[in-house]
Amino acid sequence: MPFKPAGNQFILRKKIDFKDAAFIVMPVPYEKTVSYGKGTKNGPAAVIEASYQLELWDEEIKKETWKKGIFTSKPVNCARSEKKFFPCLEREVERLISSTSAVPFFIGGEHSITQSLLPPFILRHKNLSILHFDAHADLRLTYCGSRHSHACAVYPASLTNKVVQIGIRSIGADERQFVSSGNVKTHLMHENLDFKKLQRDILRELTDTVYITIDVDGFDPSVMPGTGTPQPGGFLWYDALKLFKAVCDRKKVVGVDVVEAAPVSGSHITELNTAKLIYRLMGYLS
């Protein structure tokens, strides 16, 4: 069954043909395990709505990235039990990446969705590494009784694949044993404020083929105030973009997820900045 476009399209208010897209946007408005602030289920729709406020000509890339083709799929059906949702999402992702050579961008929703986004890429790409941008290590085995918690987002992938973490500034006692251990290399934020050195380090540590998972709380709350578990001292806008650009320039990026945007009443900062981040990353990859 071919993918069908949603009523609202990322960036553009017109639909394009699936086969003409260089980028696929898949909204995944899943929210079940958030442990503090809520609202991630509203993130994808808010980000897509905010994208209409972006200029189509990107002032840094100096071109109109949308002309490469951006297709937005229907939002994933998240009205399932946890037991059913994660296998269904994994099958949906496998079907997507089997149908196109376009680079998929998944908009969450809470970070737990990454557990089902990654396996199809891991199966498809030999020696895939994961760049994990986050305030939290997300390496717990379980959290609040669920192994599919947002606090466990990258633990399953870390058992088999290289995970390079940046922006980390909150680690639980029950996950510290996995920090910079085995397949995981953790760059604690306060120890890695020399961003030129950090860039060299992560480019060396990542393999040639990379999946990027971005929790918006990896940014400082001044950049992304609307998120469920903010932490002080995160990345500022341009510091983060320089690192992402270097990775996009030097590595083959096969997929990206951007998660944990939770719209705040009376403010559009987070959804607008998230939309601009996604569009800018598409520009880097084009």
Domain assignment present for residue 6? The answer is no
C-alpha pair distances (Å), 74 with each of 2, 46, 58, 79, 213: 11, 14, 26, 14, 21
Domain assignment present for residue 218? The answer is yes
Residue 7 has what pLDDT? 56
Residue 33 has what pLDDT? 83
Domain assignment present for residue 7? The answer is no
Instruction: Concatenate the DSSP letters of all residues of 151-185 into one string.
Output: GGTTHHHHTTSEEEEEEE-B--TTTGGGTTSTTEE
Buried b (16+ CB within 10 A) or exposed e, 259-284: bbbbbbeeeeebbbbbbbbbbbbbbb
Classify strands 252-259 and 63-64 as parallel, antiparallel or unpaired: unpaired
C-alpha span between 40 and 59 (Å, rounded): 29
Q: Tell me the CATH number at 41.
A: 3.40.800.10
Residue 42 has what pLDDT? 96
Domain assignment present for residue 30? The answer is yes
Residue 141 has what pLDDT? 93
Domain assignment present for residue 215? The answer is yes
Residue 121 has what pLDDT? 98
**Angle, to 10 degrees, between the axis of helix 82-99 and the axis of helix 114-124?**
40
Residue 37 has what pLDDT? 81
pTM for the full predicted model: 0.96
Domain assignment present for residue 139? The answer is yes
Whether residue 109 has a cis bond before it, omega within 30° of 0: yes
C-alpha pair distances (Å), 147 with each of 83, 150, 283: 11, 9, 35
Three-class DSSP category at 11: coil
In a 13 Å sphere around the CA of 175, the CA atoms on its Cβ side amount to 22
Closest CA to 179 of 193, 158, 156, 202: 158
Domain assignment present for residue 278? The answer is yes
**pLDDT of 217-230, one tens digit each?**
999 999 999 999 99
| Parent domain of 276 | 18-285
C-alpha span between 226 and 217 (Å, rounded): 9
Residue 136 has what pLDDT? 98
CA quadruple 8, 218, 67, 76: dihedral positive or negative?
negative
Domain assignment present for residue 11? The answer is no
Number of domains in the chain: 1
Intervals of the chain under pLDDT 70: 1-7
Residue 191 has what pLDDT? 98
